[in-house]
Amino acid sequence: MKIIVIKLIFLVLFVSCKQEENKLEIHPTTKTDKIDSLLLSLNKQNAFNGNVLIAEGDSITLLKSYGYADLDTKVKLNENSIFRLASITKQFTAIAILLLHKQGHLSIYDKAFKYIPEISSYKDVSILNLITHTSGLPDYAKLAEKHWDAKNAVTNKDVLNLIQQHKTESSFEPNTRWEYSNTGYIILAEIVRNVSNQNFQSM
């Protein structure tokens, strides 16, 4: 069952659509009818909950909500429901950096501290290291566990301050290993903000 759900994630796009005066035309196909039937079945088994949009070319073949936005209050999902995307946002952060590189505002080979002075203790870390998870930077979540009040949400700026204050030793030298890094992408997001003078919300 889990394998089916994982495969489906690659077939569907979770979106938050704005309601328009004229509803989008949906052109179901035999294929999307089968997917819809499967998702309904999975939803009944509490194995799938979400919004699905499938398009083939210019034609939308499935646009539907399954399950609840709030399980406790039984508020149903709809096309305006908001989802926490978590690490799905990393690809957009990387693309923003590559666009700034292409436009000549920065180079992915630059050292990251050039744009984020709070990480000047990690002088050998390049922007490319951050993109490719080869920086060796410490995990900010572990820092927050030790030095942050869990009652308060931690912002990107808070993460940078924690890194600057505590100067935790790197996990490894840059470019010598690969290790998934949320810290790296927080720094990339701040580089985008500093270089473009825009927050992600306004881009």
Confidence label for 28 from pLDDT (cuts 50, 70 and 90): confident
Statement to judge: residues 105 and 166 lie in one domain: yes
Whole-angstrom Cα distance, residue 50 to residue 172?
38
- Mean pLDDT for 174-186 is 95
* Domain boundary pick from 83, 111, 143: 83
Which helix or strand (DSSP H or E) is residue 37 part of? helix 30-44
Residues 65/79, Cβ–Cβ less than 8 Å? yes
Q: Is the pLDDT of residue 1 over 80?
A: no
Whole-angstrom Cα distance, residue 180 to residue 135?
9
How open is the CA angle 58-59-62, to the nearest 5 degrees? Answer: 135
**193-198 contacts: CB < 8 A, separation 24 or more?**
194/115, 194/116, 195/100, 195/105, 195/106, 195/115, 196/96, 196/100, 196/105
Statement to judge: residues 37 and 113 lie in one domain: no
* Domain boundary pick from 83, 115, 138: 83
Catalytic sites, residue numbers: 87
Statement to judge: residues 154 and 187 lie in one domain: yes
Q: Is the pLDDT of residue 8 over 70?
A: no
Domain range for 114 is 87-198
- How far the first Cα of the chain sits from its last, in Å, is 38
Per-residue confidence (pLDDT) for residue 168, from 0 to 100: 86
Helix (H, G, I), strand (E, B) or coil at 51: strand
Confidence label for 27 from pLDDT (cuts 50, 70 and 90): confident
Per-residue confidence (pLDDT) for residue 83, from 0 to 100: 84
Count of the separate structural domains present in the chain:
2
Whole-angstrom Cα distance, residue 92 to residue 127?
15
